[in-house]
Amino acid sequence: MTGAFAGTLMNTSADLVTRVCQGDADAFRLIFERYSRPVISFIYDMVNDRALAEELTQETFVRAFRAIHTMRAETKLSTWLFGIARNVARESLRARARAKNHVDLADKSVMDLSDDKPVPVEGLLSKELNDLIRRSLATLDEDKRLVFTLKVLHQCSYEEIAAITGFSLAKLKTDLHRARAEMRKKISPYAGVGYEV
Amino acid sequence: MKCEVCSELLEEYLDGELAPQDREQVGAHLIACVECSESFAALTAEQELFARYDREIEVPPFLWTRIAAHTTNPAKRSWLASLFGKTSLAGALAVLLLALALGVIYLRSKPKTPEPKLATTTPTAPNPDPLPKSVESPAPKRDVIASHQKPRVRVKPPVARTVTDQSDVLSSDLAYLDVDEQDTALHIEQSQILLRSIKNVQISDTDEEIDVTYDKALSRRLLNENVVLRRDAEMKAKYPTKTLLADLEPFLIDIANLPDRARPQDVREIKERVQKTEIVAALLDYQDRGANNR
């Protein structure tokens, strides 16, 4: 039986993949409409650059289209797409690092978050909170940012994260724990969630 | 269970990743231990904070056009696309040329008799629309890729224009809702669609498992949103909204906790509860009232 929601729309992800493989261009558009938002958000979390995120999302879907016939039947489409997005983002980050052009990550304002005056969470405007999280995220190293983004911001399961990243369960748990601790350290002066776990 | 052990397992407990036995033990410990339950409450608050994160990033309409240019079969591209090399440009140009041609045809075939003037229309008022109304505007940007096909252009008979008072047209428009209300309205709409799909799912008499992967992922996302929106509604004393979101939450939790391939009886239980509690009707009612009142 097909998925309840997808079934209603007569388009499960598996159906769409099959249709794309059979040359149905509309099916790939449906895949894009369904997954473009999570994919662009994920890439933006990783590269912290809006224009670059758009470009890399384009690259992700083009690569996905070209390789979709190689996708294994048991693989979840979302996991597979996130895996491609992760590779595309990683390549871009590597290129940027090689060019010694990591402006956002080296931005001094990012490193000086905790020097600012604490503001209770109720006092934080949503824009301030968004900026705070975005800048804090940029201070994490790539692996930690990756698992934190997938788990906390995209609610992927550990199993899915392992499939997307290729990390062992032990590594992803350690990275996730450390990432949470670092994010907490950055955010607690503002959010009043200062405690030790 | 000792506090040190509980503390180590707390994040996995929050993530819903513990084995059933460990989950039960941590749950039991949290009921008994004030310190650990405070840590868990802080972790939950932290999670809610991150759930509020809005990147303010949208998928730009041109993105699909660019992707389609790389994924469309070149043999199927229009002659204009091959002429100009860029699908989107060719498509847009084709629509523009066709619109212009039809505009000229329309103007030439227009009856010479003057239009009857309405009392409310100032005779000297310039026509704000240089193109005749009979030619529909080109497809919206997101549909540019579809413009390989012949654009649908409908020629309507000329109609006398009337000047109407449109000052109240946008009064109930989504654009006039504040950001929270827009978020809530969108959230309610998506939740309503999710629950309706559960309500309408066909369950066979066999024990065949149901693939609810997509519904589950959607429900997880909606659950996170729901927690934040419910708290916001409570803080802003929007009690009807808060009550509705509180009523919705158990359904989202249950769907989010289904395995990817759910047992028919589990889905049936949720489906029956959706039907019995009339939550869908309440969500629809909220949407209707929202469109009229907010």
What is the CB neighbour count within 10 angstroms for residue A168?
10
Residue A42 touches partner B, C-beta closer than 8 Å: no
Q: Are A164 and A82 in contact (CB under 8 A)?
A: yes
User: For residue A5, which residues of chain B lie inside 8 Å, CB to CB?
Assistant: 193-194, 197-198, 212, 214-215, 218
Of A109-123, A168-182, B2-16, the poorest mean pLDDT is in: A109-123
Q: Is A22 on the interface with B (CB under 8 A)?
A: no
So what's the ipTM on this one? Answer: 0.74
Q: Do B214 and A54 touch (CB under 8 A)?
A: no
From CA A177, how far away is CA A183, in angstroms rounded?
A: 10
- Residue B132 and residue B125: Cα distance in Å, rounded? 16
> How many Å apart are CA B57 and CA B101, to the nearest integer?
39
Of B142, B143, B138, B146, nearest in space to B81 by CA: B146
pLDDT, tens digit, for every residue of B186-206?
A: 889 889 889 988 888 887 777
Which A positions 142-161 lie with beta carbon below 8 A of chain B? Answer: 151-153, 155, 157-158
- Residue in A2, A5, A152, A185 to test binding to B, most B beta-carbons within 10 Å: A5
Q: Is the pLDDT of residue B5 over 50?
A: yes
Tens of pLDDT, residue by residue over B201-235, are: 887 777 788 888 888 888 888 888 888 888 888 77
Q: Closest-CA residue in chain B for A31?
A: B64
Q: How far is B164 from chain A (nearest CA, A)?
A: 38
Domains in chain A, please, with CATH? 1-102 (1.10.1740.10), 109-192 (1.10.10.10)
- Is residue B118 within 8 Å of residue B162, measured between CB atoms? yes
Q: Residue A124: which pLDDT band, with cuts at 50, 70 and 90?
A: low
For residue B30, the distance in angstroms to the closest alpha carbon of chain A comes to: 14
pLDDT at A97 over 50: yes
Quick one: pLDDT at residue B111? 52
A3, A65, A191: residue with CB nearest B211: A3
Q: What is the model's pTM?
A: 0.53
pLDDT of residue A114: 44
Q: A45 pLDDT exceeds 90? A: yes
Strands (E), A41-187: none
Residues of B in contact with A78 (CB under 8 A): 217
Q: Please give the Cα distance from A197 to B8 (Å, whole number).
A: 8
Domain boundary assignment for chain B: 3-51, 62-148, 176-293
In this prediction, residue B284 carries a pLDDT of 84
The pLDDT confidence band at residue B291, using thresholds 50, 70 and 90, is low
Which is more confidently placed, B4 or A99? B4
Return the SS3 of B193: helix
Q: Confidence class of residue A136 from pLDDT cuts 50, 70 and 90? A: very high
A56-70, A102-116, A162-176, B140-154: the lowest-pLDDT one: B140-154
Residue A4 is nearest to which of B73, B208, B267, comparing CB atoms?
B267
pLDDT of residue B91: 56
Q: Using CB atoms, which residue from A8, A76, A121 is nearest to B49?
A: A121
Residues 92 through 121 of chain A touching chain B, CB cutoff 8 Å: 121
- Above 90 in pLDDT, residue B240? no
pLDDT in tens, B80-134: 444 444 445 555 566 677 777 777 676 666 554 444 444 333 333 334 333 333 3
Least-confidence region, from A61-70, A92-101, B49-58? A92-101
Secondary structure (DSSP) of A25-73: HHHHHHHHHHHHHHHHHHHHHHH--HHHHHHHHHHHHHHHHHHGGG--T
Contact B237, B180 (CB under 8 A): no
The whole-number pLDDT of residue A192 equals 55
Helix (H, G, I), strand (E, B) or coil at A190: helix
Residues of A in contact with B68 (CB under 8 A): 25, 29
Query: Residue A80's pLDDT is what?
Result: 94
- Does position B292 have pLDDT exceeding 70, yes or no? no
Phi/psi class of residue B237: alpha, beta or left (left: φ > 0; alpha: ψ in -120 to 50)?
A: left
Burial zone of A174 (CB within 10 Å; 0-12 exposed, 13-18 middle, 19+ buried)? middle
